[in-house]
A = this chain, B = another copy of it.
Amino acid sequence: MVRIRIEISYLEGVEDPEASTLHHNLGVLGYDTVEDTRIMKIYELSFSEDTHTAMGMAKSIAENLLINPVINKYDIIVIGEEE
């Protein structure tokens, strides 16, 4: 069993309207020392595969199903391995 995280965020230079709105509203609510906000989505998947195969599947799932390559980037991180 391998546990893998796919972290999806916006490409540099792409504006995330949800993050901008949060940043603005935190300022209005008095949290005015917040200098930057970013929002990411994490998909944590467990595979009954060896690590190498699971990494390949996670890459395929990310690229084919989860991200929009025009605006998103992703990182894949192995967070746990067990027999």
Residues of A in contact with B (beta carbons under 8 Å apart): 1, 7, 22, 26, 29, 31, 33-49, 54, 57, 60-61, 65
Contacts and interface: CB of A to CB of B under 8 A. Distances in A.
Q: How many copies does the complex hold?
A: 2
A24 to B, nearest CB: 13
A22 B6 CA distance: 13
B33 A39 contact: no
A44 B40 CA distance: 8
A7 B61 contact: no
A43 B37 contact: yes
A42 B7 contact: yes
25 contacts: A1-B35, A22-B43, A26-B45, A26-B61, A26-B65, A31-B57, A33-B57, A34-B45, A34-B46, A34-B47, A34-B57, A35-B46, A35-B47, A35-B48, A36-B45, A37-B43, A37-B45, A37-B46, A38-B45, A39-B41, A39-B42, A40-B41, A40-B44, A41-B41, A42-B42
